């Protein structure tokens, strides 16, 4: 989001981007990657994507996904400050839980 606002980016922005990639890999789409007018300038297209991202809630982005993905996204977007070091242990535990559910370590859940 900070990239769209022309602000300096931090580790939280990198983590939010990672979350977007994981969501895209699972769902095959992201809410803001819809058809835009082909004749639009690149700047106008980025403005529209930015506006759509600002209007889209975390619940909408993560709908239909496991709760861990929502928790990951919320942590990246709202859980850490600009200069704060992310709790990588917590994020790793969320990802681990996404990949291996409960006792059945052979089932890929995400």
User: 64 in a domain, yes or no?
Assistant: yes
Nearest Cα neighbor of 52 from 20, 74, 79 is 20
User: 104 in a domain, yes or no?
Assistant: no
Q: How far apart are alpha carbons 69 and 71 in whole angstroms?
A: 5
pTM: 0.75
Tell me what pLDDT residue 43 has: 82
Q: How far apart are alpha carbons 71 and 58 in whole angstroms?
A: 9
**What CATH number has the domain bearing residue 55?**
1.10.510.10
Residue 6, helix vs strand vs coil: coil
Residue 108 has pLDDT above 60, yes or no: no
Tell me what pLDDT residue 90 has: 96
Count how many domains the chain has. Answer: 1
Q: How far apart are alpha carbons 98 and 3 in whole angstroms?
A: 28
Q: What is the mean pLDDT of residues 76-104?
A: 82
Q: What are phi and psi of 8, to 5 degrees?
A: -65, 140
Q: What is the mean pLDDT of residues 66-82?
A: 88
User: 91 in a domain, yes or no?
Assistant: yes
Give the list of residues 6+ apart from residue 95 with CB closer than 8 angstroms, or none: 68, 72
Q: What is the mean pLDDT of residues 67-89?
A: 89
Tell me the per-residue pLDDT of 61-73, one tens digit each, with 9 for 90 and over: 999 888 999 999 9
């Amino acid at each position: 989001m900070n990239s769209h606002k022309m602000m300096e980016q931090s580790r939280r922005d990198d983590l939010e981007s990672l979350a977007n990639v994981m969501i895209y890999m699972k769902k095959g789409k992201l809410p803001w990657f819809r058809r835009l007018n082909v004749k639009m300038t690149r700047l106008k297209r980025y403005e529209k994507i930015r506006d759509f991202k600002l209007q889209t809630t975390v619940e909408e982005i993560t709908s239909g996904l496991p709760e861990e993905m929502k928790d990951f996204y919320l942590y990246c977007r709202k859980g850490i400050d600009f200069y704060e070091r992310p709790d990588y242990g917590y994020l790793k535990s969320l990802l681990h839980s996404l990949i291996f559910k409960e006792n059945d370590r052979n089932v890929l859940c995400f």
